[in-house]
Amino acid sequence: MSETRLGAQTIRFGRPPRVLGCAGVVGKKEGEGPLGGSFDVVETDAFCGEKTWEKAESRLLRTALAHAVEKAGRPLAEIDVLFAGDLLDQCIGTSFGLRDTGRPLLGLYAACATMAEGLVLAAAAVSAGYARTAAAMSSSHFCAAERQYRLPLEYGGQRAPTAQWTVTGAGALVLGAGASGPSLTHAAVGRIVDAGVKDPAHMGAAMAPAVHDTLRAFFAESGTAPGDYDLIATGDLGAPGSELLHDLFARDGVTLSGRHVDCGTLIYDVSAQDVHAGGSGAGCGAAVLCGHLMRGLQKGKWRRLLFCGTGALLSPVSSAQGESIPAVCHVVAFLA
Amino acid sequence: MSETRLGAQTIRFGRPPRVLGCAGVVGKKEGEGPLGGSFDVVETDAFCGEKTWEKAESRLLRTALAHAVEKAGRPLAEIDVLFAGDLLDQCIGTSFGLRDTGRPLLGLYAACATMAEGLVLAAAAVSAGYARTAAAMSSSHFCAAERQYRLPLEYGGQRAPTAQWTVTGAGALVLGAGASGPSLTHAAVGRIVDAGVKDPAHMGAAMAPAVHDTLRAFFAESGTAPGDYDLIATGDLGAPGSELLHDLFARDGVTLSGRHVDCGTLIYDVSAQDVHAGGSGAGCGAAVLCGHLMRGLQKGKWRRLLFCGTGALLSPVSSAQGESIPAVCHVVAFLA
């Protein structure tokens, strides 16, 4: 069966690739959260044995890939292509993290939607026969993100109630032909949506309209509705962003209740761990997908899962220049 | 004919897409260079009518896409997917430049190899049937790059002889099914090569080994040699980087003489325009490909062209932390 365009944004894969292996790797705080037991590795040192936080992020990504490849039961040399990106300026988490892999690499930037974009492209590459196996991955690190996007950690600035906490973590997922395991059946590619939100401490509000835009297109083009999925997981809307998403769908007469979860609110005990609106970061959705969500699919807890990567495409420079926050959301559908 | 993997890095497209339209847009200095007449638009104002250099870069990208789409003879709404990226932190040139297009967007980061990466993915999307049309594009801006990567322009720092001059420019190319025009027949995806070069003012030296690595794989896997191509164009090695590339191939007993050109040395009159080692930047190869090189293919000056995107995957932070410069090169083959 060949690749099918179901509409302007949605694709049905002709030969849906299987999840051959995946791994989520996180830091200490994430390991202490409600999903702690679902990750493959919990690092207890913020530096992961490296000299800087940026190098630590590279280490997280490398570790996630190593574990995903091991669980896929094949050597790294048999992974045909890597799709990866992160939040650091010039994506150095990725470039230095994957420098020694010797594998063909296509670098991505979609902020916290990078894992979903990687899965779209990895699945497309395998289904069309460009690659036999392909890996998608992404990472973030709280300390590296804080000093790049916000303030030096030493400053100890107050955080707004709508602010999110960047997850220290990475996820990697290997797709290929296989006899069993969840398959990636559909993808929807997002377009940029800018609702005019200008507050970088309220990114959930900037991203919710993008999620609404892509999911609405996906449901219409695939002829499905939220009720057809056991779980609809967004990457990092946080609590207020999730509420806005529900409101946007409610205006369409569609309810997400009982189906929607957000990786950013799942990964922490939001009140006990003092993370305000929840987790965020390119590693948030990636680690939760490759840990908690994939385990649930593999164990039969859920059968049909939508994973919605959510990216806020701002930079400190764009915000300083008075710009609003463009956002994007890419969606992939898994079938257990 | 289906997609064919010719080896670990090289793909032959089953339905090679055609170039439906392309456009190169540059700044004043580039317009005054030897290729000035080959660009679609030469902006005479460094701000392109915007308030900041970053917004000017977004404008360049938007203008290039608009002209490419117009030359493709169809409305923007019929371009199924955009592949784009740039050098600014968090790729804001792309996110803000394409914010209002309403088209599905997959963001890329491969430094100055971004245009080539976009062409690999756009061709793959069209050939496999994921999209009927796809556009690849990239941009850079001298002033925005200088203050981000190096020093405030006002500082007026001395430049090393091996330093390159970031091109103010953008290129966009639309691929799709068509009855005539050049086709994109093959692609080779690069892996990261780090030769240990640590001097950010000598990026050609860091990138030449990556070009050698991908081109060597491409020649071996496609069963071709440099002599089979009328032109082999690298994105932005500059003069010393080009010399190193020739040396690396000479060690293999292979000559590139008479075939190889570098977009970074073509775009400026290197001595008269005081650009030292030549041009660089994600807009350099993109604008020269979409201007000079495509015009030559369309006019029958050349028949077989290899375009080699060359990316130095460093950041100011990685260099400050003592790191060397990883590099990557992606290759696409055009047939007139």
pLDDT digit string, tens, across residues B123-133: 999 999 999 99
The Cα A12–Cα A222 span in angstroms is 8
Note whether B120 contacts A: Cβ–Cβ < 8 A. yes
Interface size between A and B, measured as CB pairs under 8 A: 183
Convert the pLDDT of each residue in A254-310 to its tens digit. Answer: 999 999 999 999 999 988 999 999 999 999 999 999 999 999 999 999 999 999 999
Q: What residues have CB less than 8 Å from A87, skipping those under 6 apart?
A: A93, A111, A112, A140, A145, A148, A149, A166, A281, A282, B90
Q: Cα–Cα distances in Å, from A321 out to A10, A74, A198, A314?
A: 34, 48, 11, 11
CB contact under 8 A, A192 and B98: yes
B106 touches chain A (CB under 8 A): yes
Do B313 and A85 count as a contact with CB atoms less than 8 A apart? no
Tell whether the model's pLDDT for residue B1 goes beyond 70.
Answer: no
Give the model's pLDDT for residue B316. 96
Q: Do A129 and B5 touch (CB under 8 A)?
A: yes
Taking CA–CA distances from B91, the nearest residue in chain A reads A109
Q: What is the pLDDT of residue B236?
A: 97
Of B80, B89, B315, the CB nearest to A315: B89
User: What is the per-residue pLDDT for B159?
Assistant: 87
Q: Judge: B190–A80 Cβ closer than 8 Å, yes or no.
A: no
Q: Cβ A321–B55 below 8 Å, yes or no? A: yes
- The two beta strands, A231-234 and A260-262, are parallel
Whether residue B309 has pLDDT greater than 90: yes
Three-state DSSP class for A160? coil
pLDDT band at B284 (very low <50, low <70, confident <90, very high): very high
Contact flag B106-A125 (C-beta cutoff 8 Å): no
Q: Is B177 on the interface with A (CB under 8 A)?
A: no
Which of B80, B125, B189 has the CB atom closest to A104's CB atom? B189
Task: Supply the pLDDT for residue B271.
Answer: 86
Which of B76, B82, B95, B132 to probe the A interface (max A CBs under 10 A)? B95
Confidence at residue A158, expressed as pLDDT on a 0 to 100 scale = 86
Integer Cα distance of A166 and A177 in angstroms: 34
Q: What residue in B sits closest to A100 (Cα-Cα)?
A: B192
HEC per residue, A23-72: EEEECHHHHCCCCHHHCCEECCCCCCCCCCHHHHHHHHHHHHHHHHHHHC
The 10s digit of each residue's pLDDT in B36-53 is: 999 999 999 999 999 999
As given in the structure block, the two tokens for residue B72 are: 């493709």
Nearest to B65 by CA among B18, B16, B99: B99
Write down the pTM of the prediction.
0.98
Place of tokens 């916290």: A112
Parallel, antiparallel or unpaired: strands B105-107 and B81-86: parallel
Angstrom distance (rounded) from CA A100 to CA B244: 22
On the 0-12 / 13-18 / 19+ scale of CB atoms within 10 A, A101 is buried
Instruction: Tell me the pLDDT tens digit for each residue of A221-239.
Output: 999 999 999 999 999 999 9
pLDDT bin (cut points 50, 70, 90) of residue B233 is: very high
Phi, psi of B226 (to 5 degrees): -50, -35
Contact across the interface for A91 and B103, Cβ inside 8 Å: no
HEC string of chain B? CCCEECCCCEEECCCCCEEEEEEEEECHHHHCCCCHHHCCEECCCCCCCCCCHHHHHHHHHHHHHHHHHHHCCCCHHHCCEEEEEECCHHHHHHHHHCCCCCCEEEEECCHHHHHHHHHHHHHHHHHHCCCCEEEEEEEECHHHHHHHHCCCHHHCCCCCCCCCEECCEEEEEEEECCCCCCEEEEEECCECECCCCCCCCCHHHHHHHHHHHHHHHHHHHHCCCHHHCCEEEECCCHHHHHHHHHHHHHHCCCCCCCCEEEHHHHCCCCCCCCCCCCEECHHHHHHHHHHHHHHHHHCCCCCEEEEEEEEECCCHHHHHCCCCCCEEEEEEEEEC
Query: Per-residue confidence of chain A (336 residues) as pLDDT tens digits?
Result: 588 999 999 999 999 999 999 999 999 999 999 999 999 999 999 999 999 999 999 999 999 999 999 999 999 999 999 999 999 999 999 999 999 999 999 999 999 999 999 999 999 999 999 999 999 999 999 999 999 998 888 888 888 999 999 999 999 999 999 999 999 999 999 999 999 999 999 999 999 999 999 999 999 999 999 999 999 999 999 999 999 999 999 999 999 999 999 999 999 998 899 999 999 999 999 999 999 999 999 999 999 999 999 999 999 999 999 999 999 999 999 999
Q: Measured between CB atoms, which of B2, B315, B326 is closest to A129?
A: B2
> What pLDDT, on the 0 to 100 scale, is given for residue B156?
84
Residue B205 pLDDT: 97
Q: Where does residue B102 rank: exposed (0-12), middle (13-18), buried (19+ CB within 10 A)?
A: middle
**B327 to chain A, minimum CA–CA distance in Å?**
9
**Confidence tier at B272 by pLDDT (50, 70, 90):** very high
Q: How far is B301 from chain A (nearest CA, A)?
A: 32
CA distance A108 to A138: 9
DSSP A89: G
Both tokens assigned to A68: 């995903």
**Residue/partner pairs of B295-300 with CB below 8 Å, 24 or more apart:** B295/B38, B296/B231, B297/B19, B297/B182, B297/B334, B297/B336, B298/B181, B298/B182, B298/B336, B300/B336
CA distances from A122 to A9, A116, A129, A130, B318 (A): 17, 10, 11, 10, 28
Handedness of CA A178, A180, A182, A183 (dihedral sign): positive
- Cα gap B230→B6, rounded to integer Å: 22
Question: What pLDDT, on the 0 to 100 scale, is given for residue B270?
Answer: 87
- List of domains in chain A: 4-176 (3.40.47.40), 183-335 (3.40.47.40)
Establish if B103 touches chain A: CB-CB under 8 angstroms.
Answer: yes
pLDDT at A156: 84
pLDDT, tens only, B131-177: 999 999 999 999 999 999 988 888 888 889 899 999 999 999 999 99
B251–chain A Cβ distance below 8 A for any pair:
no
**Does B335 contact A at CB distance below 8 Å?**
no
Best interface-test mutation with B: which of A2, A62, A130 has the largest number of B CBs within 10 A? A130
Q: What is the pLDDT of residues B16-26, one digit of tens each?
A: 999 999 999 99
Q: Which two tokens stand for residue B165?
A: 């001059």
Identify the CA nearest to B57 among candidates B286, B306, B266, B228: B286
Task: For A233, list phi and psi in degrees, rounded to 5.
Answer: -105, 125
The mean pLDDT value for B309-328 works out to: 97
Task: Give me B89's structure tokens.
Answer: 């932190």
Q: Using CB atoms, which residue from B105, B191, B317 is nearest to A92? A: B317
Q: Is A108 on the interface with B (CB under 8 A)?
A: yes
Between positions 41 and 70 of A, the ones with CB within 8 A of B are 51-52, 54-55
Q: What is the mean pLDDT of chain B?
A: 97
Which of helix, strand or coil describes residue A237? coil
- CB–CB of A90/B315 below 8 Å? yes
Nearest to A130 among B101, B105, B124 (CB): B124
Q: Are B305 and B229 in contact (CB under 8 A)?
A: yes
Q: Write down the H helix ranges in A199-291.
A: 203-222, 238-251, 263-266, 282-288
Helix (H, G, I), strand (E, B) or coil at A165: strand
The distance in angstroms from the start CA to the end CA of chain B is: 20
Closest CA to A39 of A234, A230, A263, A261: A263
Distances in Å between the alpha carbon of B128 and those of A52, A128, A221? 42, 6, 20
